[in-house]
Chain A
Amino acid sequence: MPVSPVSSRSRPTLGQTITSQPKSISFPGKVKATQTRGYFGANQSRMAVSRTAMILPDMKSAEKLNSPTSRTVTQVFDANGVDVTPRPLYRSDTHVGTAKPSKLLTSQEGSRGSDYISSYSFYQNTLNPSMLGQFTRSVLGSSTVSKSSVSTTESITEDLEEPSYKWERLASFTDLRVLRTIPGKILKEDLEKTIEIILTETETLRLFDLPTVMLSVESEEAEKVSQRNKNYEILCRNRLGNDLYVERMMQTINGAPKNKDVQCDRIIKEDKGIMSTAWDLYDSLNALELSSLPAKWPAADSRSRTNVAAKPREQRAPGSTTEKNSEASSLMDIENVILARIHDDEEDRSEAILKSDKFHQDLFFMERVLMENIFQPKLAAYRQLPVLKEPEPEEPKEFLQGKKVEEVEEEVKKEEEEEIEISAEQSTIPANLERLWSFSCDLTKGLNVSSLAWNKINSDLLVVGYGHFGFKEQKRGLACCWSIKNPTWPERIYQSPYGVTAVDFSIGSPNLLAVGYHNGTIAIYNVQSNSNVPVLDSSESPQKHLGPVWQLQWIEQDRGTTGDDKREILVSISADGRISKWVIRKGLDCHDLMRLKRTAASSNKKGGEKEKKGEALISRQAPGMCFAFHPKDTNIYLAGTEEGHIHKCSCSYNEQYLDTYRGHKGPVYRIAWNPFCHDVFLSCSADWGVAIWQQETLKPFLSFYPTTYVVYDVAWSPKSSYIFAAANESRVEIWDLYISTLDPLIVNVANPGIKFTTVLFAKQTDCLLVGDSDGQVAVYELRNMPTALDSGRGDIIDTLLGPKSHQPG
């Protein structure tokens, strides 16, 4: 009868957990069971079974198990009944464990309390830091200690229960039905559920509290404290040598510190950097406000942010990349198809990029920028920006700055130098035309420029009509809108099989362009759109012109009595002898302003010749070549005919002329009113002559026959009432009547084979546009023009009338 019970006990405790009653184990044959109060365990049937299994072979004594599950508080008695239950090696803080478990016991007396208690006690004990690591057994021991404390019996065989600790622990955790929910099957939806995590502030944990020892001088206790301080000082001073104070040393016992190492899993750290910029915040805010539409190429966008420094922009649909991949992978030959697919997508995307509007616009700007670079000094000269020399003649600078502009070409540079050296007075260099650039491209090569017109609003936009004058030379026609900013390619191209003979931009709606053709049709284009189809066309109209439309002009007419606002009409004159006005209502509506009748020579003039009906149109009508409305009174206009007569007509009368000016012997190609003197007008004709007329006089006031070539076009300068330009076949002349009425001021000779056909002054600048028969419109700058005197705007008639009247030739 050794102390085998101890050892024999050890085995059964492998599986045992709880017994209903504390067993006192003594020698076989003598078993006393002392029960603790109210110590019932929960299930642990498993344990119990094992225990019984374990026990039975060992213990031959019939140990009854009242309930399969109950905690064992075993006591060992030796043969003499002496309690020899080994005591625990370690006692935990009994205070810690007692309070709660006892509560539990009392609350759930007699019913399944023990396992809670046990588990709770375990819980408690495991939390007790002082236990950890010191005695592994003592952990178990402590658990049993607490049990024992609860059970109020001291005899506990903790070592018996040691191996079972683990099991017990597990068991107790599984017992924790109340305190812990058994985790069920985690469903997939749960994983993807949005879990709300609410972070709240805990109460303040005070780790260290050092109350201040400083007081404000103004506080109430300041008096007392300062008094105390003073007393202390006195005390310290008195201390030395005073018998009341004896020095003595003390030694404090410091406990020996012990190091404890703990090893934990490596904490994986990740660095994440973000650059937060003002625009990023702005974008995020906007993204929240806008409804997020899935972007067209979300994959491309999500991949486009490759640069680390840049912040990712708006969140695109994140699943799109996966979408694309899954599409590809669903096909048979995965690898090849994926590659092909991605390649296709890339191609598609690059096609889409090339087709996109933004790309188109960017190309447009790029071209303009290139143009600016190439033509920059010329454009600067055109826009009359100061042109200065620069020390290092390498780079042209941005001319928009307007400060310094580089000259590139040698001759121009030389002239600049001269210009700078010479003062602004009458220079020794005569006035000249300097060619800046010319509008031309492949399309326009070989065509004859027939008309030029500026846009009324955008002074950079020019329309050029290309078409031949003669009947035999008819080729296809072209009307192009050019911009100053791009002299190499027109902005709009309107092609037609017939030659264009007249163009004009509307005043009221500056996007409307009227084009007159050699076959008599008039088409109206909207230049805002890119389409080549005219908005309106007169080819269907029953009253369309039957001969080439030689001139078109938009006129704003006062309605006058009817009280309407100024309405705009389109007036056209054509070779079939009609001057018509066209009104845009539902289509082009035509009314005849005047039918030009042939007038015989002044000697045989008959009034009111009637036209014969049914006759060919050639006989009685005089083909009209040009017209000009009076700048002030839009009711009066002049019309030039092929006969050489200029008729003054009024819109109110469409049968009779008011006056006829006879002076030219050939068709009058152009009439122009002086912009400053409203009595004077200018005309040019195929009889090689240019004539200046005064309104009241039926004979020309001045006429010029500089060459033996047909003069196609004349125009007054917008800056001075004395200056006008004339283009004849071989040269362009600038006349300044103030200086001389015999010779032109500037003569620019054309290259052989090229005829100058049209001239147009630029409004704001000193530039002249000259169109020729090769399809080029050259821009010339008038340089060194004599400065316009104040009387430049004055009445040239008065100036010229006196001493310089000239006999008409």
Chain B
Amino acid sequence: MAEVEETLKRIQTHKGVIGTMVVNAEGIPIRTTLDNSTTVQYAGLLHQLTMKARSTVRDIDPQNDLTFLRIRSKKHEIMVAPDKEYLLIVIQNPCE
């Protein structure tokens, strides 16, 4: 458990990381470094997108599954590690 905390902390303090969130399957944040409304918004939107992405991957080959999702935008990059029970979301600004 301590190791998990340490890793989370390290991730949060990495260069360019804007925010780190762990939300459970209902969108309730478990750990977050951003404010609640932003977290909930991210969680809701990314949840749907992850569902869609996973559905796409599995439609092509049902034995496959989604492991990681990265969305690169102009301003930053959103990285999502999805699971059945939670979503791990990290937003990073890779330019600096």
Contact = CB atoms under 8 A, between A and B. Distances in A.
Contacts of A353: 22, 24, 30, 85-86
A249 B30 CA distance: 90
A58 interface: no
Contact of A367 (B11, B16, B25, B28): B11
A331 interface: no
B95 A350 contact: no
Interface of A: 277-279, 281-283, 297, 300-301, 303-304, 306-307, 309-310, 346, 349-350, 353-356, 358-360, 362-367, 369-371, 373-374, 376, 394-396, 408, 488-489
12 contacts: A281-B62, A301-B84, A304-B26, A307-B51, A309-B48, A350-B28, A354-B30, A360-B4, A367-B14, A373-B92, A373-B94, A374-B15
B8 interface: yes
B3 to A, nearest CB: 7
Closest 8 CB pairs of A and B: A279-B58, A282-B62, A362-B81, A304-B25, A350-B30, A279-B62, A373-B94, A363-B7
A307 B1 contact: no
A491 to B, nearest CB: 12
A306 B28 CA distance: 13
A362 B59 contact: no
Nearest to A311: B55
B55 A277 contact: yes
A349 B90 contact: no
Contacts of A356: 85
B54 to A, nearest CB: 8
A396 B4 contact: no
Contact of A278 (B14, B58, B72, B83): B58
Contacts of A395: 72, 74, 94-95
A67 B88 CA distance: 88
Given A277-B55, A277-B58, A365-B68, A304 B85 contact: yes
A283 B26 CA distance: 22
B63 to A, nearest CB: 7
A370 B24 contact: no
Q: DSSP class of B's interface residues: helix, strand, loop or mixed?
A: mixed
A358 to B, nearest CB: 6
Contact of A304 (B58, B59, B84): B84
Given A354-B1, A365-B81, A408 B95 contact: yes
B47 A370 contact: no
Contacts of A408: 95
A366 B81 contact: yes
Contact of A363 (B4, B14, B52, B63): B4
Chain B interface size range: 35 or more
Contact of B16 (A358, A373, A488): A373
A394 B72 CA distance: 12
A395 B77 CA distance: 10
A309 B26 contact: no
Contact of A303 (B25, B79, B86, B94): B25
A446 B49 CA distance: 46
Interface centre among A353, A360, A374, A408 (most CB of B within 10 A): A353
A371 B68 CA distance: 15
Given A307-B51, A353-B24, A374-B94, A489 B10 contact: yes
Given A366-B81, A369-B79, A370-B79, A359 B88 contact: yes
A502 B8 CA distance: 32
Contacts of B68: 365, 369
Interface of B: 1, 3-4, 7-8, 10-11, 14-17, 22, 24-26, 28, 30-31, 47-48, 51-52, 55, 58-60, 62-63, 67-68, 70, 72, 74, 77, 79, 81, 83-86, 88, 90, 92, 94-95
B71 to A, nearest CB: 12
A365 B79 CA distance: 10
B83 A359 contact: yes
B8 to A, nearest CB: 7
Nearest to A281: B62
A720 B16 CA distance: 40
Contact of B85 (A277, A300, A364): A300
Contacts of A310: 51, 55
B79 A283 contact: no
B17 to A, nearest CB: 7
Nearest to A306: B26
A297 B88 contact: no
Given A283-B62, A304-B84, A363-B88, A354 B31 contact: yes
A394 B81 contact: no
Contacts of A350: 24, 28, 30
A687 to B, nearest CB: 44
A349 B48 CA distance: 22
B83 to A, nearest CB: 6
Given A301-B84, A354-B22, 11 more contacts: A278-B59, A283-B62, A304-B25, A309-B52, A349-B85, A350-B30, A359-B86, A365-B81, A367-B10, A374-B15, A395-B95
B83 A362 contact: yes
Given A370-B79, A373-B92, A363 B8 contact: yes
A500 to B, nearest CB: 22
B67 to A, nearest CB: 8
Contacts of B8: 363
B43 to A, nearest CB: 12
Contacts of B74: 394-395
Contact of A488 (B14, B24, B59): B14
Contacts of A355: 1, 4
Contacts of B55: 277, 279, 309-310
Contacts of A358: 83
A279 B22 CA distance: 27
Given A304-B26, A363-B88, A279 B59 contact: yes
Contact of B11 (A281, A301, A370, A394): A370
Contacts of B83: 358-359, 362
B7 to A, nearest CB: 5
Interface centre among A306, A309, A373, A488 (most CB of B within 10 A): A373
Contacts of B90: 366, 369-370
A283 B64 CA distance: 12
A370 B4 contact: no
A620 B7 CA distance: 51
A39 B25 CA distance: 76
Contacts of B30: 350, 353-354
Given A303-B25, A350-B30, A354-B30, A367 B63 contact: no
A785 to B, nearest CB: 30
B85 to A, nearest CB: 6
Contacts of B86: 353, 359
Contacts of A354: 1, 4, 22, 30-31
B19 to A, nearest CB: 12
A374 B63 CA distance: 33
Contacts of A376: 94
A360 B22 CA distance: 12
B7 A367 contact: yes
Given A304-B26, A307-B48, A488 B72 contact: no
Nearest to B67: A365
B38 to A, nearest CB: 19
B58 A366 contact: no
B80 to A, nearest CB: 9
